[in-house]
Chains A and B, each alone.
Chain A
Amino acid sequence: MVTLQYMPHKEIQDLDSDKRINKLLKVVRTDKIILLEGRLTNEEETTLIRKTMEQIDDDFKGVELVTSPELHYTWLTKIKSKLINVLLGNQYGFTIIGPASIIKEIKQDPSKIQLLAEDAPKKKKR
């Protein structure tokens, strides 16, 4: 069974970037897929990749992530999303982050996201 955990933005909004990433990775390492309200900043995404690389071992293979595409049909919606992000801190859109051992593939194009997931493999006994 694949578990999807919804994480509202308020759960991370008061944390600094390092703590945000640590919190997300902690959940991902319990074999859950996070559906995060809002987006990470560019720097946070690279921090997530860096910290993921630091944690990779025989059991943890890394993460798959995808952020909702920025679809701005009009100047008004574009301004609206920027304004929301400035006022509320990247709360616009969503982010999916999950363990690479469960999310096998993510396909994204401007209007849809396809995610292929499978049950978590049993951890090897050492």
Chain B
Amino acid sequence: MIQKLKKFFNNLFKGLFKKKKQIKLGLYGPPNGGKTTLANKICEDWLGEQMGSVSSIAHETREVIFKEKVTIKSGNKEISFGLVDTPGIATKIDYEDFLKEGMKEKEAKVRAKEATKGVIDSIKWLDDMDTVIVVLDATTDPYSQVNITIMGNLEARKIPVLVVANKVDLKKADIKRIEAAFPQYKVIGISAKYGKNIEEFYEELIKLAA
């Protein structure tokens, strides 16, 4: 009887003081969609600091970057989450593409090797995500197999998704094409670089993650 009571109180206290699991919000997508630019915008707006470096050369983010406890507000609602910026997912990585960007052969090969590891890590982290923002470049073709594979995996895992059509400041941007490609998801057009439509993005994010 005493043992049973001891166990009951132990469980009760464990339950009361157990740390609440933090929501993990992942930024996923193909390379150069603007994931880190968006992660930086979120961190600048709510933490006053940057998250990672950005570059016009693909695969700038080659490691998963995690920022704990980001709290965003919209109206009278707010949410806290751990923000996970992931390397872009690709089916091919050619070091010669980096040579064309002016890199030396050794540097290009190292970058390619790191980029392959980055893709593998992005895929591994998928299992840990609670909510995902898929960041797509609105100026490029959304019907790529990488996009379809990412969406299919998120759908199979029943992870809530918000699609961001980034770079709407550019003339070639076409949000409607992205909406047509992924009609099952809410698509929001933004420019992470210039902050265009960012308030609507936060509003949609809170709706999705709440």
Binding site for B on A (CB under 8 A): 42-43, 45-46, 48-50, 52-54, 56, 58, 61-67, 100, 106-110
In the complex, chain B residues 147-173 whose Cβ is within 8 Å of any chain A Cβ: 148-149, 152-153, 155-156
The A interface, classified by DSSP as helix, strand, loop or mixed, is mixed
B65: Cβ under 8 A from any A Cβ = no
Pair A49/B119 contact, Cβ less than 8 Å: yes
Binding site for A on B (CB under 8 A): 89-95, 109, 112, 116-117, 119-120, 123, 126, 141, 143-146, 148-149, 152-153, 155-156, 180
- Which residues of chain B are near A48, meaning CB under 8 Å? 91
Pair A56/B93 contact, Cβ less than 8 Å: yes
- Which residues of chain A are near B141, meaning CB under 8 Å? 107-108
- Which residues of chain B are near A52, meaning CB under 8 Å? 91-92
Alpha-carbon distance between A1 and B27 when the two chains are bound, in angstroms: 41
Q: A42, A54, A62: which contacts B149 (Cβ < 8 A)?
A: A42
Shortest beta-carbon contacts, A-B, top 9? A62-B92, A100-B92, A42-B152, A53-B116, A61-B94, A108-B143, A45-B149, A42-B156, A53-B119
Question: How close is A118's CB to chain B, nearest CB, in angstroms?
Answer: 14
Given contacts A53-B93, A64-B92, contact A46 B153 (CB under 8 A): yes
Pair A49/B152 contact, Cβ less than 8 Å: no
What 9 new A-B contacts, CB under 8 Å, besides A46-B126, A58-B95, A106-B145? A43-B156, A45-B153, A49-B90, A53-B116, A54-B116, A54-B120, A62-B90, A65-B145, A100-B92
Q: Look across to chain A and name the residue whose beta carbon is closest to the beta carbon of B156.
A: A42
- Which residues of chain B are near A53, meaning CB under 8 Å? 93, 116-117, 119-120
Question: How close is A120's CB to chain B, nearest CB, in angstroms?
Answer: 14
Pair B143/A49 contact, Cβ less than 8 Å: no
Q: Look across to chain B and name the residue whose beta carbon is closest to the beta carbon of A49.
A: B91
The residue in B109, B116, B144 that gathers the most chain A C-beta atoms within 10 A of its C-beta is: B116
- Which residues of chain A are near B144, meaning CB under 8 Å? 106, 108
Pair B143/A109 contact, Cβ less than 8 Å: yes
Pair A61/B149 contact, Cβ less than 8 Å: no
The residue in A49, A54, A65, A108 that gathers the most chain B C-beta atoms within 10 A of its C-beta is: A49
